[in-house]
Amino acid sequence: MLFSNHSSAFEIMYVITSCGMGSKVLQEAKKHGVLGGVIMLGKGSGKSSVFNFLGLYNDKEIVMMGADKDTADNTLIELNKEFQFTIPNQGIAFSTSACGIVGENYCNDCKDTFEREGRVEKPMFQLITTIVNRGDAERVIEAANEAGSKGGTIINARGAGIHETAKVFNMVIEPEKEIVIILSQENDTEGIVNNVRKKLELDKGDRGLIIVQDVNRAYGSYFV
């Protein structure tokens, strides 16, 4: 079974916008209860990239933030009012559910509600995150496009220091890794995942990893 229909009380928010806007988005989010976040640099890939479609042809900033569900919902509403994501070329914003959260700086109440909340309605969009070796990201985009994707964005991943590595789902993320994030219609997701898995041979050794998350709330012309 590839996908889960369970949501949690803790959500991850993503805002993808043009360079220079990430800090403004994060500052605005903090006004509405978000404790902090991380800003990453990414680039669109291919003529059919959803980010090129949005007018974000050059490097982009991806703001990733976490909060409890109520705070996340309210924050995205307020961010959309401030930055007007529904206007073409302004960027996109969406949230996904997290399976759990560890750390004293985050909402303690969330720890007791992860297993209690269930999804009420079927999601229209899903986020596909693929982690592969450096140089394979374009192949991921190509395989995804063959299965109906409109493109994605590529993020270079690295540890915090020269000799450090990071781990995501027990997979080591070293400087030679690339992360590809793709937004898909829910009914296209399985086909995209299967084609990427086949073309990149992800079942053979340390070739890569795919994570699929439901998109709960979304703003931007792409979602209209």
Tell me the domain boundaries of the chain: 10-223
Question: Does residue 103 register a pLDDT over 90?
Answer: no
Helix, strand, coil proportions of the chain in percent (round to 5)? 25, 35, 40
pLDDT score at 115:
40
- Whole-structure pTM over 0.85, yes or no? no
* 47-51, 58-62, 110-114, 138-142: range with highest mean pLDDT: 138-142
Give the pLDDT confidence of 32-75 residue by residue, as tens digits.
999 888 888 887 654 444 444 444 445 788 998 888 889 999 99
**How far is residue 11's CA from residue 22's CA, in Å, rounded to a whole number?**
19
Q: What is the mean pLDDT of the chain?
A: 76
Nearest to 20 by CA among 35, 43, 39, 34: 39
**How far is residue 207's CA from residue 132's CA, in Å, rounded to a whole number?**
6
Q: What average pLDDT score do residues 152-162 get?
A: 62
Q: What average pLDDT score do residues 199-210 get?
A: 86
- Which option is the CATH number for 10-223: 3.30.70.120, 3.40.140.10, 3.30.470.20, 3.10.20.90? 3.30.70.120
Question: Does residue 134 register a pLDDT over 90?
Answer: no
Find the helix packing angle between 22-30 and 69-83, rounded to 10°: 130
Sign (positive/negative) of CA torsion 51, 7, 208, 163? positive
Question: Does residue 178 register a pLDDT over 80?
Answer: yes
Instruction: Give the list of residues 6+ apart from residue 84 with CB closer than 8 angstroms, or none.
Output: 90
Q: What is the DSSP string of 172-216?
A: EE-TTEEEEEEEEEHHHHHHHHHHHHHHTTTTSSSSEEEEEEEEE
